[in-house]
Chain A
Amino acid sequence: MRELSLNVLDIAQNSISAGASLVTLSVCEDTANDWLTLTIADNGRGMTPEQLDRVRDPFYTTRTTRKVGMGIPLFRMAAEMAGGGLTIESVVGVGTTVTATFCLSHIDRMPLGDMAGTVSALIRLNPQLDFLYRHEVDGNVFELDTRALREVLEDVPLCEPDVMEWINGTLAEGLLPLNSQA
């Protein structure tokens, strides 16, 4: 993976396979403390403590469910390479939260990359699910919540080309003033 936003796209697929109806993607840049925190949280079926233990193992994957594989180990490696780490909290029936931290100025921290592209791809491919994207840079926040868009759209699906164009435009306009350094 050349961008952290690709890891986010990959990890979000686990939430989708876990039957989540809402996936929250959050990016928090704190330049004062030199930290970048990425969170992927879902309300999917969750994992048992035993499954959680094995997620660390790159050779643990269940071909029948494809819940995990190289995704988590690659994300963990990216975090650890940049002086941070990865934690997973999961409760069966409640959901899973994956949190990765990075030292912002670490020379080996991969660039965040195209988060708008990741959010856009997730919405386009999963119009029946809801996504909440929150991006914070030193207290300035941009948020996109598909639940709010759905209220406006009523019966029109999120994946309609004109709707996607509006979403892409909103992402671009909303992220620009944040002046992300990640």
Chain B
Amino acid sequence: MKSIAELQAIRDQARAKIAMREGSHEGTRIVVGMATCGIAAGARPVLNAFVEEIAKRNIQNVSVVQTGCIGMCQFEPIVEVLAPGKEKVTYGLMDAEKAVRVVTDHIVNGNPVAEYTVAKLMK
């Protein structure tokens, strides 16, 4: 059973991790479209897959944030990856499996997954 005592221990460990991260370089942002269109198309499992995969791999300095509707509802769930110093990559028709591949290929190894991009989907 999850307990408050457990949460206190997590807090103390998290403090050490946060202190380690401080002062390190600006990180990558993963932006998930969470407007009505995104949610209806399946943004929630995509978001939760990104969050879980990043936690599982203990990747630091990556933030997962939400945005509204960017006007391409037919390609939702849409995810943008903004890495510092790199061009923005916009993925469309995402699902939880694709999210895991984006983490491994793009976030970890720096190779955007061309076949999932909106640019590719529009062709």
Contact = CB atoms under 8 A, between A and B. Distances in A.
A50 interface: no
Given A1-B40, A66-B68, A173-B1, A162 B48 contact: no
B18 interface: yes
Contact of B36 (A71, A114, A165): A71
Interface stretch (A33-41, A79-87, A100-108, A119-127): A119-127
B61 interface: no
A125 B39 contact: no
Most buried by B among A71, A118, A161, A173: A161
Interface stretch (B5-13, B80-88, B99-107): B5-13
A93 B66 CA distance: 26
Given A9-B39, A13-B35, A166-B6, A153 B11 contact: yes
Nearest to A163: B10
A153 B6 CA distance: 11
Nearest to A120: B48
A17 to B, nearest CB: 8
Given A125-B66, A173-B2, A9 B44 contact: yes
A160 interface: yes
B4 A152 contact: yes
B118 interface: no
A66 B34 CA distance: 12
Contact of A162 (B10, B34, B54): B10
Interface string A111-146: 000100110110011000000000000000000000
A152 B7 contact: yes
A32 interface: no
A161 B14 CA distance: 9
B11 A154 contact: yes
A156 to B, nearest CB: 5
Contact of A125 (B1, B13, B54, B65): B65
22 contacts: A6-B44, A9-B34, A10-B39, A66-B35, A69-B69, A117-B45, A118-B44, A120-B48, A125-B34, A125-B64, A149-B7, A152-B11, A153-B7, A155-B15, A156-B11, A161-B55, A162-B13, A163-B10, A164-B51, A165-B55, A166-B7, A173-B1
Given A69-B36, A74-B36, A154-B11, 16 more contacts: A1-B40, A6-B39, A6-B44, A66-B69, A70-B36, A71-B36, A74-B40, A114-B44, A118-B44, A124-B51, A125-B65, A153-B11, A156-B10, A156-B11, A160-B14, A166-B2
